[in-house]
Amino acid sequence: MGDRRLTLASAADAGDVAAFSRRLLRLDEAAVVRLRQRADGLVGLWGTTGFDVLATRAVFGTLTPADVVCDAHVLGDAAGTGTLSIDPGFGLESAWRGALPPQTGYRQIDDVPLRTVVDLAQRGAALAKDPVGGGHGPVTSLLDQVVLEVSDGDGSVGIALRSLFALTGMGFARDRHGKAISESSTLADIADDEPVRVRAGGTWIRLDARFGAVYQRRGDQFSVTVL
């Protein structure tokens, strides 16, 4: 089978791997992480969140072999010790369904203020706690609702609430003090010029924040909901 090894460039990269794994496990306790060596010298970390949205960030390092699927607990625990040479454990390739989104082929639609994204996510979280009172039916239906439409003048894409939950749940967005966004974050603590970049390709809609990105399949969206 050969040696399986993730070699990281610094302690900061190890910390990023540990944080990614920890956040992913909060969203899906049975999560796996897919590691992919990139041509630019980075290793991409991918996770299937509990919201049916892919989450990703990249760290400096090398990976053998170039494509590995591993248990998020094993990866996170190893990275959490600060070690730079990680055995990702037993291969779980069969646990990963579907292909990864392409790295290229996206056009920028627009930048959305992070404050807007967090405001919508917090309102959605409040409704999800009381779906009947909110009048939106089952929580799954609420997650599928488009809560944000973004246009570049030639067309528009709809962003589902599940994507906003995944973006904030993975800690990819931070306030002006460097703290990860949560349900209790104050909007005033978010810099008014901090953007979330929306890009679209043939199959995927991509939301890029400062510390990572989430991918939503195009078509996984329904009617617009005003929160």
Q: Indicate if 46 and 116 belong to the same structural domain.
A: no
* Domain-embedded: residue 150: yes
pLDDT recorded at residue 224:
45
In this predicted structure, the answer to whether residue 3 has a pLDDT above a threshold of 50 is yes
Closest C-alpha to 85, from 22, 9, 34 = 9
Share of the chain above pLDDT 90, in %: 74
Q: Indicate if 117 and 182 belong to the same structural domain.
A: yes
* Domain-embedded: residue 226: no
**Stretch 118-135: mean pLDDT, rounded?**
77
Domain boundary among 95, 116, 146: 95
pTM over 0.85: yes
Q: Indicate if 58 and 134 belong to the same structural domain.
A: no
Q: Using one digit for the tens of pLDDT, what is the confidence trace for 138-166?
A: 477 888 999 999 999 888 999 999 999 99
Share of the chain above pLDDT 70, in %: 92
Q: Indicate if 112 and 87 belong to the same structural domain.
A: no
Q: Using one digit for the tens of pLDDT, what is the confidence trace for 160-218?
A: 999 999 999 999 988 999 888 877 789 999 999 999 999 999 999 999 999 999 999 98
Task: Give the chain's domain count.
Answer: 2
pLDDT recorded at residue 222:
45
Least confident among 16-30, 57-71, 173-187: 173-187
Closest C-alpha to 175, from 187, 160, 157 = 187
d(CA 111, CA 93): 35
pLDDT recorded at residue 142:
86
d(CA 26, CA 30): 10
Q: Indicate if 134 and 205 belong to the same structural domain.
A: yes
CATH of the domain at 61: 3.10.150.10
Q: Using one digit for the tens of pLDDT, what is the confidence trace for 84-115?
A: 999 999 999 999 988 999 989 999 999 999 99
pLDDT recorded at residue 132:
57
* Domain-embedded: residue 225: no
* Domain-embedded: residue 165: yes
Domain boundary among 40, 75, 95: 95
What's the mean per-residue pLDDT of the chain? 90
> 73 lies in which domain range?
5-95
- Quickly state the pLDDT bin for 2 (edges 50, 70, 90): low
pLDDT recorded at residue 180:
85
Q: Indicate if 117 and 178 belong to the same structural domain.
A: yes
